[in-house]
Structure 1
Amino acid sequence: MNFIIEAVVRAIKELYQTDIAAKDVNLQETRKEFEGQVTLVTFPYTKLSRKGPEQTGTEIGEYLKANVGEIAAYNVIKGFLNISIANSYWLGQLNNNILRDDFAVIPSNGKRVMVEYSSPNTNKPLHLGHVRNNLLGFSLAQILTAAGYDVVKANLVNDRGIHICKSMLAWREFGNGETPESSGLKGDHLAGKYYVWFDKAYKQQITELIEEGQTEEEAKKNAPLIKEAQRMLQQWEAGDSEVMNLWNTMNGWVYEGFDATYKTMGVSFDKYYYESNTYLLGKDIVEEGLEKGVFFKKEDSSVWIDLTEDGLDQKLVLRADGTSVYITQDLGTAQLKYDDYQMDESIYVVGNEQDYHFKVLFLILQKLGKSWAQGLYHLSYGMVDLPSGKMKSREGTVVDADDLMSDMFETAKQQTEAAGKVDGFGEDEKDKLYHTIGMGALKYFLLKVDPKKRLLFDPNESVDFQGHTGPFIQYTHARIKSVLSRAGYNAAATHTQAELDAIERDLIVWLTKFPDTITEAATSHSPAIIANYVYELAKTYNKFYHEKSIMQAESESLKQFRLMLSAASAKVISKAMNLLGIEVPERM
């Protein structure tokens, strides 16, 4: 609405002989209960007019109506000037902007962004928490790309450490040579099975040692299994061939399993980093920090940084024995990522339990003088719960991502058949539709909520065709496609309309918001902004569909105009849902 901002600047100049900057004009969307599309708050201008906010609003409104052809009317409610924009403006937006192939195609801004997400451990399959992580990361990457950024999608795989050795040791001790082929299990599920077995056997050993008179703390340290797992980790770090062969074999199983899950989920990556290759990188940065006086050594030779003046605490960055801690590795990996891609921004999609860790990481890199550290961002997200309660992976009660997605397909099948939306479909077409609706339901439910908020995922609620859900939006798209198909709509033709009904205008208004919504979502790092936008657009289209006849319109010209408006709505719904990683069906 730049033309209104410019007109307000001129109005203030002419009415009150004062120059103001365009950035000082604050326009808002008019509240639904009032007439108009744009609202100007008049309170800031009362000092210039030396009049009350209502009289000031009336004077500005009269000026705008008299001097700006696109402004049809105005009303003033207390200190708020509500502006109604002429139908000719909205029709021009539809014909000259929305219907163009390049509508909402934002040009490159020359900036590169890395989005790191997923970050799985290779000792167990992906779970519900990983699902939210992957969907957030992939959707944000889609949105940033649409907003003009060059995006690199990265996955840092946690493929080393004591937790990986636990699965390896349990398989060696209890596996009897079991493989994904012999067991019929996906490789990541097989590794997870032995991770759970380790935990159960370890707890049993702890119980036995406590019964023999050891304290719980002593028992945890002295249990034979944990000692053997620690020895296996030392062997791995020493490059023991037998341990390395087992590690490569089991990781290979897991990667194959992950790839299948990612494919079903519809997410992908441009670059993989592996902790096994990066965990030593931070030691050079520790030396750099010692030389710069950013870090200090304690008497036991451990290396620390003092962040107390920054409101944090002292943080260990290298153990006394010279081994790395998590922050050591993350310092090195951050440098490696920048060396690889020189990105302007690096986004870490990680749960909010790591908020403190990332505050420390980013602050250390800034203190080390890394110019790119200002571009680091932690997309912190809340936990996902199911009605049955919180997940506990080590006890084998994790909500498995594969099982969850399979359940979503079944739920989609049941509700779609109950709603009678697959009449005339072949079996393959039905299966594809159940997958599309099930994944759309899951993705939309997890993405419509602000990432920072914890959420309760209800699978049945997510597949409601009438609620604030993915399937509601998918069905709206299919409904539009059905209307266009039955009407034989000619996309090459354009049709003008002298007048607009209120609902037709409202629909065009929503369509014009799409490019700015993409920019806002990219700036805010929030797919929820896109999700809620496309829901409101679908709601508005359905209101239009029920209030205005398309096929029995009063004239052929009006029919074609409404078909054109429908086609524009389908195009934007499809593009918006694609930014969420959600497919929209052509028919249901």
Structure 2
Amino acid sequence: MVIQNILDPIVKEGIQSIYKIDLEKVEFQDTRKDFEGDITIVVFPLLKLIKGNPVEIANQIGNYVAAHADIVSGFNVVKGFLNLVITDRYYIDDFNQIPDFSDFGMVSKKKGAIMVEYSSPNTNKPLHLGHIRNNLLGFSVAEILSASGKKVYKTQIINDRGIHICKSMVAWMKFGNGETPQSTGLKGDKLVGNYYVKFDKEYKKQIETLIADGKPEDEAKKQAPILLEAQEMLRNWEAGDQETVNLWKEMNQWVYKGFDESYKELGVDFDKNYFESNTYLLGKEVVADGLDKGVFYKKEDGSVWIDLTDEGLDEKIVLRADGTAVYMTQDIGTAIQRIKDFPDIDGLVYTVGNEQDYHFKVLFLILKKMGFEWAKNLHHLSYGMVDLPEGKMKSREGTVVDADDLMSEMTKTAGEISEELGKLEGYTEADKQNLYKTIGLGALKYFILKVDPKKRILFDPKESIDFNGNTGPFIQYTYARIQAILRKANFDSKAPVDVKSLHAKEKELLKLLQTYPVIIQNAAENLSPALIANFTYELVKSYNSFYQSVPIFGAASEADKVLRVQLSYAVSCVIKSSFKLLGINVPERM
């Protein structure tokens, strides 16, 4: 049982007994490491209700709690902070009550369902570094929400229509000579992406030619023949021209297959895919209904808007004058469609970059105004961009960091570092390659997920693959070290722990382990894998300090030896569990 839950009623009883006051909330915090104690009661908030010296008040409460709580062995007061010392027996008994650390902290009984959307790429280019952060965040949040007790559906919407794919199609028709992924050996998403870059180069060339012929730049940009061809192709697609639709289907299939290979390598998956070509008309009926209800209004030109100025936003168009939908219309309709497809969900999480913060504020507000009860459970998992030491990425110019290339490079770098460390005796070549991939992708994922989602990241591949510090490989190495200890333990290490007292390092580890279920719930509530990642790092640091400070197999007693092996096992289980929530594998040997 969590310490706060044991102490809370006792503290409230004490305050009622001493001061005749019914306290609503006791403020607890971890005791600072430079003071003796395990948990601290903050007395300052009580001064609004109790007149007196905070040190005297803290001492009076401390005396009451020490007399009435078996788990408290002593206390000390520092100004307005009451530091309580918890008995070793409490931690030992709590540890013995956990039957299986392999599923510790996981809530198996699901209550409520939620959908998490992530990835949502365009079909004119392969996945890049920005998509990697998006996918890792979305997938990890889905895993964390599931561990916290939610049923989770993972989804993406693939942006498979519009001028962007028509640009790749036009360039392929003009310059492709019928080449395919099979004929070139290229992944389909890379092949199509090459033609998107080719279109941009040709478009710029044509603009320069038109300007040289005397056209103003603005006019040249609009009249470049290759752009006019792409616009005509888009009109043909929307009109259902069979030849255009067939080419669109073929090239998109190339891209879908390429995406699937990248997702498999990255270790993410989806329960359902939505396609913009099927959803772009959704929402028009909802707008008509909203007009009848007075949620929207129509301007003289026939366009439909919503006025959100009273909510501190502005006016937003939801239907053009010609009756065509905008992105907002589509997102309104898609959200409603998802609730129809999965009636048990009562909320959605959208994993989308922070440049869309305003869009989602408007979307959520519109759905609330339309009267959808579930709209209060919509969340935008907003995240910052990923930068590189080399500068900003641009898809049209072909300067993006390709996701496949980055994953391959991370695996290669992990291999080079592992070879230098020279601890791979007895590994087959296949074993080595699997290990390099585990380390390389673990480094990439951990580096990205340890940062709060809202913050921008400067990603340095070399810095991420370091076997020291707050990195994936450092944590993986500790896990592998523990597995070696467990293999060496040739005695019953699962018997109940029966020691009389704890070493300070043992107690520190037990305290950290106890907080893991709370960390999972906090990470789910805040949609933040960073809380899981940084907790795991703190746990590993504490374990390594324990490993350096106390002998395991050379312990003074059999009971101490059993405890230390069991502690090692519990830590390894939590590392494996927390890394699974981050989508990271752990090696049995390193």
- Residue 477 of structure 2 is matched in structure 1 by 475
Q: Secondary structure at the match of 2:37?
A: coil
Alignment of structure 1 residues 175-574 onto 2, 5 Å = 175-342=176-343, 343-488=345-490, 490-574=492-576
Q: Which moved more, 1:508-517 or 1:322-331?
A: 322-331
Deviations, residues 464-513 of structure 1 (Å, cap 9, x unaligned): 11110011110110000001102235354333211101100000000000
- Whether the 8 Å CA contact 1:98–1:512 is kept in 2: the answer is no
Cα–Cα, structure 1 residues 242 and 126, in superposed 2: closer, same or farther, change >3 Å?
same
Structure 1 distance, partners of 2:498, 2:174, is 76
Deviations, residues 121-173 of structure 1 (Å, cap 9, x unaligned): 01100000000000000000000000000000001100000001111111111
Deviations, residues 57-84 of structure 1 (Å, cap 9, x unaligned): 1111111111111001111110011111
Structure 2 distance, partners of 1:115, 1:421, is 41
- Residue 15 of structure 1 is matched in structure 2 by 18
TM-score, normalised relative to structure 1: 0.98
Amino acid at match of 1:339: K
- Whether the 8 Å CA contact 2:493–2:565 is kept in 1: the answer is no
Cα–Cα, structure 1 residues 537 and 489, in superposed 2: closer, same or farther, change >3 Å?
farther
Cα–Cα, structure 1 residues 48 and 98, in superposed 2: closer, same or farther, change >3 Å?
farther
Structure 2 distance, partners of 1:107, 1:26, is 30
Q: Secondary structure at the match of 1:113?
A: strand
What is the number of equivalent residue pairs in this alignment?
Answer: 586
Deviations, residues 169-205 of structure 1 (Å, cap 9, x unaligned): 1111110011111111100000100000001111111
Cα–Cα, structure 1 residues 279 and 491, in superposed 2: closer, same or farther, change >3 Å?
farther
Structure 2 distance, partners of 1:586, 1:102, is 18
Cα–Cα, structure 1 residues 30 and 216, in superposed 2: closer, same or farther, change >3 Å?
same
Q: Secondary structure at the match of 1:207?
A: helix
Structure 1 distance, partners of 2:49, 2:252, is 70
Structure 2 distance, partners of 1:197, 1:102, is 51
- Whether the 8 Å CA contact 2:158–2:273 is kept in 1: the answer is yes
Structure 1: 5+ residue stretches without partners: none
- Whether the 8 Å CA contact 1:116–1:155 is kept in 2: the answer is yes
Deviations, residues 434-453 of structure 1 (Å, cap 9, x unaligned): 00000100000000000000
CA shift, 1:99, in A, is 4.3
Cα–Cα, structure 1 residues 102 and 459, in superposed 2: closer, same or farther, change >3 Å?
closer
- Whether the 8 Å CA contact 2:102–2:577 is kept in 1: the answer is no
Structure 2 distance, partners of 1:572, 1:237, is 52
Amino acid at match of 2:384: G
Cα–Cα, structure 1 residues 47 and 279, in superposed 2: closer, same or farther, change >3 Å?
closer
CA shift, 1:47, in A, is 5.0
- Residue 139 of structure 2 is matched in structure 1 by 138
Q: Secondary structure at the match of 1:394?
A: coil
- Whether the 8 Å CA contact 2:494–2:566 is kept in 1: the answer is no
Structure 1 distance, partners of 2:259, 2:493, is 42
Amino acid at match of 1:119: S
Deviations, residues 361-392 of structure 1 (Å, cap 9, x unaligned): 11111122222211111000000011111111
Structure 2 distance, partners of 1:344, 1:34, is 45
TM-score, normalised relative to structure 2: 0.97
Structure 2 distance, partners of 1:109, 1:83, is 36
- Whether the 8 Å CA contact 2:449–2:530 is kept in 1: the answer is yes
Aligned-residue RMSD, C-alpha: 1.3
Residue among 564, 575, 578 paired with 1:576: 578
Q: Which moved more, 1:214-223 or 1:139-148?
A: 214-223
Structure 2 distance, partners of 1:371, 1:45, is 39
Q: Which aligned segments of 4 or more residues in structure 1 are displaced greater than 4 angstroms?
A: 98-102
- Whether the 8 Å CA contact 1:507–1:541 is kept in 2: the answer is yes
Amino acid at match of 1:17: K
Structure 1 distance, partners of 2:28, 2:346, is 31
Amino acid at match of 1:10: E
Structure 2 distance, partners of 1:38, 1:533, is 18
CA shift, 1:408, in A, is 0.4
Structure 2: 5+ residue stretches without partners: none
Q: Secondary structure at the match of 1:65?
A: helix
User: Percentage identity across aligned positions?
Assistant: 58
Deviations, residues 301-357 of structure 1 (Å, cap 9, x unaligned): 121112222222221111112111111111111110111113121000000011111
Amino acid at match of 2:333: G
- Whether the 8 Å CA contact 2:116–2:152 is kept in 1: the answer is yes
- Residue 153 of structure 1 is matched in structure 2 by 154
Q: Which moved more, 1:393-402 or 1:368-377?
A: 368-377
CA shift, 1:266, in A, is 0.3
Q: Secondary structure at the match of 1:14?
A: helix
- Whether the 8 Å CA contact 1:140–1:525 is kept in 2: the answer is yes
CA shift, 1:556, in A, is 2.5
